[in-house]
Amino acid sequence: MTEYAALIPVNVITGFLGSGKTTLLQKLLASPQLRDTAVLVNEFGEVGLDHHLLENVAEGTLLLDNGCLCCALRGDLQESLRDLFSRRERGEIPRFQRVVIETSGLADPVPIAYTVLAEPVIQHHFRLGNIVTTIDAVNGRGQLDRNSESVKQAAVADRLILTKTDLASAGQVNALRMELRRLNVGAVLIDSGTDDLDPERLLTDDTYDEVSRAREVDRWLLDEGLNSGISEHKHGSHAHDEIYSFCVKYDVPLDWTAFGVWMTMLLNRHGDKVLRIKGLLNVEGVATPVLINGVQHIVHPPTHLERWPDTDRRSRIIFIVRGLSQHRIEASLSAFNMLANPVSLAGVPVKDTAQPALGASLSRP
C-alpha cells in the first residue's frame, strides 16, 4: 500500500438546505461497511443521527495570508480533525478508519477540501475522499439559478445524488440532469429513488483506494457525461463567471515534465477558476495510465491504474471551470506539450526523445 493510500479518507457530504444530506448520511451509516466511521456535522438537523462518533463543528473560516478565498482554511474543521486524530491515537475514542463531514446547506465545500489537502498536520494523516452532493429534484433547478453555493456544491462533487425524484415530474428531473451534466461532466449522477445507495458506490470507491481504483475509473469512462457530447461547448459561448465543465481529449502521449510545468502555471494564475480537474493521462514512457485529481490550487499525488481500461489511449482530462475558455486551455496544453517535443518546419522531430510527438493534436469527444 502506498503512503498516500494509507491515510484516513475524509468524505464530504454537502447539498443545499433541505436537499436530504442527513437522510442520506443516516442510510449510509446503517451499513456495516461504515461502522468505523467518525462523523462531523455542522449542525444537528431535524433528522437524528445515531452514531457513536458524532461531533458538532461550528462553522468558521480562517483566511490565509495570501487572501485567496478558495485557499481559506476552515479553522473549525482544522481543530476538529486534529483533535479527532489526537484522541484516536491516545485511545480515547475507537480507531476510526474514515471521517464523513456533513456540511451545512450554505457551505462552500472547497475550503473543507483545501483544509484536508493542505493543512500542515492534517495532510499527514488524512486524505480527501469523494465529495457527495445531494440535490433536491423539485427545487434543485431553482436553487442552482439563485444560489452560488448550490452551484459550487454541484460543481466540485464526485457524486451527485438526486433526491426527492418521486415528487418531481419527469421533465423537472431531466432538466436538472442536463444542468448538472453541464456543470460537472465528471461526477457520477445517482437517483436516490431508483439507484442503489451503497457505501461503496458513494463513499469508499475512489482512485486512491487500491482495491476500487479501476472500478472508479470505469465509472468515469462509462458515465453518460463523458460520452454524451454534453461536454462539447461552442468556444467563447460562456459568460465571464459561468461555471461549466468539459473534457479535453489529447491524442499524443503527454510529456510529464511539460505537463507539470503547464498545470502548475495554470493553477498558479487561475486556480481560483479551476474548481476541479480529474484525468486519465497517457504519459510518455509510462506503460500504464496516470490518474490526476485536483481541487482548485491543490493537486493530489498522481496515481496509476494497473492497465488501460479500454483500447482508447488518449489522455482525457475533465475540467470544471469558472469562465475559462476551453479553447484556450486546449491550445495552451498543446503548446506546452510541444515544448518537450519540438518539431521542425518539415514536421520532423528535432530532439532525440524516446517517443517524439508529431503534430500534437486535440480531438473532440
Partner 1 sequence: MCSLCGMLGGRGHWTETATNAETFQGRAESHTWHRERQDRARLVNKVLKYYGMSLNDWAATSFVLRSHTGQNSIVSNLTEMWAAAESLIHRECDPLDEDLLSALAEDGVGR
Interacting residues toward partner 1 by CB under 8 A: 2-4, 82, 85-86, 89, 120-121, 123-125, 256-258, 260-270, 283, 285-288, 290, 297, 299-304, 324-325, 328-329, 331-332, 335-336, 338-340, 342-345, 350, 354
In terms of CB distance, is 9 or 140 closer to partner 1? 9
CB of 324 to partner 1, least distance (A): 7
Distance CA 102, CA 187 (A): 19
Distance CA 217, CA 223 (A): 10
In terms of CB distance, is 118 or 197 closer to partner 1? 118
Return the C-alpha cell found at 321. 471551470
In terms of CB distance, is 121 or 167 closer to partner 1? 121
In terms of CB distance, is 178 or 339 closer to partner 1? 339
In terms of CB distance, is 174 or 288 closer to partner 1? 288
Could you tell me which of 95, 242, 122, 250 has the C-alpha nearest to residue 182? 242
Torsion on CA atoms 177, 295, 28, 74, rounded to nearest 10: -120
Distance CA 10, CA 163 (A): 23
- By DSSP bridging, strand 243-250 and strand 315-322 are antiparallel
On whether the CB atoms of residues 184 and 154 are closer than 8 A, the answer is yes
CB of 91 to partner 1, least distance (A): 14
Q: 335 CB contacts (<8 Å, ≥6 apart)?
A: none
Burial readout 240-273 (b: 16 or more C-beta within 10 A, e: otherwise): eeebbbbbbbbebbbbbebbeebbeebbeebbeb
Please provide the DSSP assignment of 128-160 as one string. Answer: EEEEEEEEETTTHHHHHHH-HHHHHHHHT-SEE
CB of 346 to partner 1, least distance (A): 9
What is the number of other CB atoms lying within 10 angstroms of the CB of residue 38? 26
CB of 354 to partner 1, least distance (A): 6
CB of 308 to partner 1, least distance (A): 14
Return the C-alpha cell found at 53. 462518533
Residue with cell 522531430: 349
CB of 167 to partner 1, least distance (A): 43
How far apart are the two ends of the chain, measured CA to CA in Å?
A: 35
CB of 192 to partner 1, least distance (A): 34
Residue with cell 458538532: 56
CB of 342 to partner 1, least distance (A): 4
CB of 359 to partner 1, least distance (A): 11
In terms of CB distance, is 246 or 262 closer to partner 1? 262
In terms of CB distance, is 127 or 181 closer to partner 1? 127
CB of 296 to partner 1, least distance (A): 12
In terms of CB distance, is 113 or 189 closer to partner 1? 113
In terms of CB distance, is 51 or 273 closer to partner 1? 273
Q: 313 CB contacts (<8 Å, ≥6 apart)?
A: 282
Q: 312 CB contacts (<8 Å, ≥6 apart)?
A: none
In terms of CB distance, is 173 or 298 closer to partner 1? 298
